[in-house]
Amino acid sequence: MAQFLISGGPGAGKSTLLAALQQQGYAGAEEASRVLIQEQVALGSGLVPWQNLAGFAELALARMITQYEQARQRGGVTFFDRGIPDIIAYLEVGGISVARTYYDAATQYRYHPQVLMAPPWPSIYVNDAERWQTFSEAVQLYQALSRTYQRLGYRLVELPLTSVAGRVRFAQDWLALEGMPASKSGNSGKE
């Protein structure tokens, strides 16, 4: 089993890269927080990050643990659009005390020791219903995410600012260097 993270600030191309990797046959876990925002807005709930970040973080943690366990049971290579350490960084940026629960989960549910980081990229950044941050805020979140992952013992591998196909090739070459299959895993589909 190999669980690989794609992280970075909002609007940096993580979800697009994940979708392209899934088209190549890799298993992928879509961004839990983005799906949760859509679900909570549809429910008319106040459990969205701009109204109740602490409550939303609890939902995101539960969803990410479920994604992790599903990937572990399935085996093979799985790419995750964000991981548990992202929650810690978002809480810190939001000025909310991070409960021990999040650090315990980050310890228990470890991903591959290297994280693919999508750097801020102004030419592709757009706001949408789930991405309300300004580009400047996205840069600050990227910096906080980088610090958090490094503090938790991960090494960062910055994705190049290139086409989606170029990023897929970069990820596949990186997988090959890590001794993982650079071709279809036989698993596709979303979590």
Q: Say which CATH number the domain at 62 has.
A: 3.40.50.300
Q: Is residue 90 part of a domain?
A: yes
d(CA 133, CA 188): 31
Identify the CA nearest to 102 among candidates 118, 117, 83. Answer: 83
In this structure, of 20-24, 30-34, 63-67, the range with the lowest mean pLDDT score is: 30-34
Please check whether residue 17 lies inside any domain of the structure. yes
- pTM here is 0.87
Question: For the purposes of burial, counting CB atoms within 10 Å of the CB of 134, is it exposed (0-12), middle (13-18) or buried (19 or more)?
Answer: exposed
In a domain, 189, yes or no: no
Residue 190 binned pLDDT confidence (cut-offs 50, 70, 90):
very low
Q: What is the pLDDT of residue 130?
A: 58
Residue 81 domain boundaries: 2-177
* Domain contains 190: no
> Burial, 56: exposed, middle or buried (Cβ in 10 Å; 0-12, 13-18, 19+)?
buried
- The domain total for the chain is 1
Q: What is the pLDDT of residues 105-133, one digit of tens each?
A: 999 999 999 999 999 877 765 666 555 67
Assigned domain for 8 exists:
yes
Residue 58 has pLDDT above 90, yes or no: yes
Q: Is residue 26 part of a domain?
A: yes
178 vs 29, residue with greater confidence = 29
Flag whether 185 is in a domain: no
Q: Is residue 138 part of a domain?
A: yes
Q: Which of 158, 54, 55, 149 is nearest to 110 (CA)?
A: 149
